[in-house]
Amino acid sequence: MLIERLETVDQVLRRVIRKVVYLTLIVPLRALTGLLHILRVKVLRRIAIWMWRQDDTIIANRPRPVHSVFFVCKGNICRSPLAEAYMKSKLKGKNQLRVFSGGLDTTPGHTANAVAETIARQYGLALEGHRTTPISRDLIRQADLILVMDYSQRQSLLATYPEAQGKVSLLSSFRRGVLTHIPDPYGGTLEQFDHCYQLISQSCDNLLTYIEIPESASLHERSVH
């Protein structure tokens, strides 16, 4: 009987000790881990924003006017085709500025993403004639301004084409408010594609207020598909 009672007391003590350890060590450690993660994200974001602002400085110091704008994303099936189509729609009747798009990781000849086509139609744009184009040294050379969708794309592009230094920027750096990348909606919902389109259109609207459209009638817009 005494042994059974001692075993019961021992079990109770073990439960109490586990509870005390959990409350005094595990819970605070989890809270600290969560706090460190939040701080890490905030620090990295501040660093990214600072680096993105360097793009603004580079672009702001570029000689004007800009004769050609090259939109770049990963596959050239969602974001960059939407940006190209939107920009061309805003420039209708002003064919002095050349606008084209390409992808960092794509092969030629593919159509645009079906959901991207749907979003484009909702806003009076057409992507049915779009065909993917891999970026190349020749396209880099032809572009006065190269606009990517996120910082990793900028890094990747410059690593492969260092001669593009000084004319590459995040498209979203022209968007008012908090600087952010334009997330890839591929595989996402219609709402995510619409959000992507809104970020692109807002950025392009501000881009148009920045660049000076060339007046030379000899420079005609050419589509690169």
- 98 within some domain: yes
| pLDDT band at residue 225 using 50, 70 and 90 as cut-offs | very low
Highest mean pLDDT among 16-25, 35-44, 118-127, 203-212: 118-127
Predicted pLDDT at 220? 37
CB 119 within 8 A of CB 193: yes
Phi/psi at 126 (5° precision): -130, 125
How many other CB atoms sit within 10 Å of the CB of residue 66?
20
Do 154 and 102 belong together in one domain? yes
> Structural domain of residue 8, as residue ranges?
1-61
| pLDDT band at residue 52 using 50, 70 and 90 as cut-offs | low
Do 76 and 134 belong together in one domain? yes
Fill in the amino acid letter for 16.
V
CA distance 37 to 154: 26
Q: What is the mean pLDDT of the chain?
A: 81
Q: What is the pLDDT of residues 145-177, one digit of tens each?
A: 999 999 899 999 999 999 999 899 999 988 876
Predicted pLDDT at 15? 76
Do 25 and 68 belong together in one domain? no
How many other CB atoms sit within 10 Å of the CB of residue 11?
10
CA distance 138 to 158: 14
Which residues are designated catalytic? 73, 79, 184
CB 200 within 8 A of CB 175: no
**For residue 17, what are its two tokens?**
């000790």
Do 149 and 57 belong together in one domain? no
Q: Is the pTM of this model over 0.75?
A: no
CB 71 within 8 A of CB 132: no
If one counts the domains in the chain, the total is 2
Predicted pLDDT at 135? 97
CA distance 156 to 149: 12
Highest mean pLDDT among 6-15, 39-48, 134-143, 202-211: 134-143
- 84 within some domain: yes
